[in-house]
Structure 1
Amino acid sequence: MQFKTLAVSLLGLMWTIPALAETTTISPAKGVDATLVLEGSKLNIAVKSEMHSESRTIDFEAENELHVQLDDFNFDGAQDFAIWQLDDGMGTYDYYRVFVYQTRTGMFEELQPDCGDGFVNLRVDSKRKALTSTYWEMNRPKQCVTRFNKRKT
């Protein structure tokens, strides 16, 4: 009887594991569909169009839950995405990895800020067409502004 209970419990667990994956479908450009599957600390990206199809997996070394945020992060009219999480310490900061759609390659490429090592507490300023984030210099927080008017992403 215990074996039957254990077997049923394991089968139930196996059926719930795929439900833990977060799937997001976007259309970054006309005629292009992208599917983002976030499962644990892995992100599977599949991009399909009439002319191109590609997929890849990115492993985030994350202990906290990952989240997907959609926006036009480089203000080019294409829908982009970011993966973010709370910091592993006290949960004070949000860490972002930003991926922008590139029409010339048909894929998403990771964007780096103009200062600091990454996007911390990212804010999208659509009016100024800039991303603002926090970085530290000599243990003091500073504001980083990443602009796109002169940059090629």
Structure 2
Amino acid sequence: MTILKILIVTVFGLALGQAKSADSTVFSPTRSVSVSIAIEGPRVDYEIRRAGSVVSHEYVTQTENPLKLVLADYNFDGYKDFSVFHIDDGMGTYTVHYIFVYSPKANTFVELIPKCGHMFANLVRNKKGHTLSHMYYVDNVPTTCTRKY
């Protein structure tokens, strides 16, 4: 891994939460639920185990860049969620994030859709303010969008 890539992952990992560079991990959004996530290329596979049942899901991104995994509470509801991100496929100047929040009623993860723009670019999670901020473009001008939870 080049020094630039290590620096980018370290900086974004500090800003976002704990970035995982491993291809798989296991975590529990609640005491009775176990989730295993595996990343292979542009594909994210995850299994949700609860009360003897197993539900499998697959999410496929449209990138050729490596995906990184972050575990955090993105909607500040007390349940651990996850996101995957990659460096953009163009000039490599920003990160693109896909956020999945846990829904205990449905026993699944639901993808968050940005309030502004069509993707979460350069996502910043503010724990104290319970906000998510990201960049999007308006007439080729970078603009910040913030959503409070």
TM-score, scaled relative to structure 2: 0.82
Q: CA RMSD in A?
A: 1.2
Q: Deviations over 1:76-108 (max 9, x none)?
A: 111101110001122100000000000110001
> Percent identity between the aligned chains?
34
Bigger Rg, structure 1 or 2: 1
Distance between the aligned counterparts of 1:105 and 1:52, measured in 2? 13
Unpaired segments of 5 or more residues in structure 1?
1-20, 149-153
SS in structure 1 of the partner of residue 36 of structure 2: strand
Match of 1:7 in 2: none
The one of the two structures with greater contact order (alpha-carbon pairs below 8 A, sep at least 6) is: 2
SS in structure 1 of the partner of residue 137 of structure 2: strand
- Count of residues in Structure 1 that have an aligned counterpart in Structure 2: 128
Runs of 4+ in 1 over 4 A off after TM superposition: none
Q: What's the offset of the Cα at 1:52? A: 4.1
Unpaired segments of 5 or more residues in structure 2?
1-21
Match of 1:12 in 2: none
> 1 or 2, which has the higher strand percentage?
2
Q: What's the offset of the Cα at 1:53? A: 2.5
Q: Deviations over 1:23-67 (max 9, x none)?
A: 111101111000001011111110001164211111111111111
TM-score, scaled relative to structure 1: 0.80
Match of 2:105 in 1: 104
Match of 1:18 in 2: none
Letter in 2 for 1:135: Y
Match status 1:23 vs 2:21? no
